[in-house]
């Protein structure tokens, strides 16, 4: 991490790095951890947190875009699968919009902006 990388990346755990997750944790426990200054990215590099984004239109690292697409597709599959399990606290009907949102994000990461 010498500062010469001009690309915008995604964090390794792109699905759980959004502000909504952070807000939910703060609302649940009343505590918010500091954001790290340096993170591991989807392409395996270390980069400043400020050089990452969860918005597909902003990410310019191709390997990170591919990583984010895979992660969002996998998370959508998990949501649907878990919602169908007996005793699930979320119904399949409730999980469907969330899964669709992640599939949409995966598709947006798979398409180069421009």
Give the pTM.
0.83
Q: Other CB atoms closer than 10 Å to residue 82's CB: what's the count? A: 13
In a domain? residue 5: no
For residue 23, tell me if it sits in a domain.
yes
Count the domains in the chain. 1
Per the structure, the complete domain to which residue 59 belongs is given by 14-109
C-alpha–C-alpha distance, residues 26 and 32, integer Å:
5
Residue 75 lies in a domain: yes
17: number of CA atoms within 13 Å, CB side? 21
pLDDT in tens, the chain (114 residues): 556 889 999 999 888 776 666 677 777 877 776 777 899 999 999 999 899 999 999 999 999 999 999 999 999 999 999 999 998 888 999 999 999 999 999 999 998 866
> What contacts 20, CB < 8 A, 6 or more positions away?
none
Asked whether residue 50 is assigned to any structural domain, the reply reads yes
Please check whether residue 2 lies inside any domain of the structure.
Answer: no
User: Which ranges constitute the DSSP H helices of 1-114?
Assistant: 19-29, 62-83, 92-110
Q: Is the dihedral of CA 62, 67, 72, 77 positive or negative?
A: positive
Rounded CA-CA distance 71/78 in Å is 10
């Amino acid at each position: 991490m010498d500062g010469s990388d001009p690309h915008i990346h995604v964090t390794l755990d792109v699905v759980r790095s959004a502000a909504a997750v952070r807000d939910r944790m703060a609302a649940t426990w009343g505590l918010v951890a500091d954001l790290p200054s340096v993170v591991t990215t989807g392409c395996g590099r270390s980069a400043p947190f400020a050089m990452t984004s969860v918005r597909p239109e902003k990410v310019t690292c191709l390997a990170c875009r591919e990583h984010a697409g895979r992660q969002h597709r996998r998370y959508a599959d998990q949501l649907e699968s878990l919602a169908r399990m007996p005793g699930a606290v979320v119904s399949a009907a409730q999980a469907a919009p969330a899964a669709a949102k992640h599939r949409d994000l995966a598709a947006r990461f798979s398409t180069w902006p421009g």
